[in-house]
Amino acid sequence: MSLLSAENVSVTLGAQPVLRDVSLSLDPAEIVTIVGPNGSGKSTLLRTLLGIVPVEAGRVRRAPRLRLGYVPQKLALDPTLPLPVGRFLSLPHRRSAADIGAVLARVGLPGVERRMLSGLSGGQMQRVLLARALLANPQAILMDEPTQGLDQPGEAAFYRLLEEVRQETGAAVLMVSHDLHVVMAASDRVVCLNGHVCCEGAPRVVSNAPEYRALFGEGTRGALALYRHHHNHDHDGCDHA
C-alpha cells in the first residue's frame, strides 16, 4: 500500500488554477523526484500532500498514523536571531540531548549543538533541516529543492547521505529538484509536472527499454530531452511553451 498519494487532485490558489487532475503515489523506501519548470506547481503539490493546501477536487490519502518529515525550500529565519542548532532541533517538540546528538552525528555534523543557526553554511543548514525531519523517525520525507544553493560536491554528498538514510531507515523520499543530473542518478521514479503530470517513469529501468529510449534517452542527456520534449509543445489546451 502507498504511504501517501494524490488522486486526481486539483488546486486553485487565489483565482489561479495551479494543479489539475494530478495523481501521484509514494511507496515505502522509494525515492521519487518531481521536476518541472518554475511555477509548475511543484511546491504546491508537496504542500497539498502535507495537508497545508486544501484540494479543490480529488483527494489526498495518507497511510494511517503516517510519520512524515518535511524539509522546506528555505527556512524563513531572522538571521540576527541567536538560535543555537540544539534549540532549533527541539522546536516545536522537545527532544533529548542524546537524540539530538545522535541525529546530528548521523547527518555528518557531530557536536554542532551550540553553533548558531545563522552561522551555518548552506550545506550545513540543509543537513540540520534533514536532521530535524529525521527526529520524527519518518516513514516518508518530503523535500523541496533540498540542495538549492549547494555546490556540486555538497550536492553529491547530500544525496549520498539521503541514500544512506533510506537504506538504514527504509524511509521513502519525495523531493522537488531542478537538477536533472541528480534526478537521473538518485531517483527511482521521476514525475514531470506542469500544472498536470506530463509524464512519469523509472529512469534506471526505462532508460534500457527500447520502447522508452526515444522518450527518455540515456543518462542526463535523456533527462533533458524528456524535459524539453514535454514542455515545448501544447496539449490538452495547456501551453507549455
Ligand X SMILES: Nc1ncnc2c1ncn2[C@@H]1O[C@H](COP(=O)(O)OP(=O)(O)OP(=O)(O)O)[C@@H](O)[C@H]1O
The residues binding ligand X (CB under 6 A) are: 13-14, 16, 18, 36, 38-44
Smallest gap from residue 114 Cβ to ligand X (A): 33
CB of 18 to ligand X, least distance (A): 4
Q: Which is nearer to ligand X, 25 or 43 (CB)?
A: 43
Residues 6+ apart with CB under 8 A from 142: 46, 49, 50, 68, 69, 70, 71, 173, 174, 175
Complex with ligand X: residue 67 or 74, whichever CB lies closer: 74
Minimum CB distance to ligand X, residue 20 (Å): 12
Phi (first) and psi of residue 191, to 5 degrees? -120, 125
The answer to whether the CB of 230 falls within 8 A of the CB of 198 is: yes
Q: Are residues 139 and 66 in contact, defined by beta-carbon separation less than 8 angstroms?
A: yes
Q: Smallest distance from the beta carbon of 74 to ligand X, in angstroms?
A: 10
How close are the terminal C-alpha atoms of the chain, in Å? 37
The residue among 11 and 26 lying less far from ligand X, judged by its C-beta, is 11
Nearer to ligand X, 13 or 215 (CB): 13
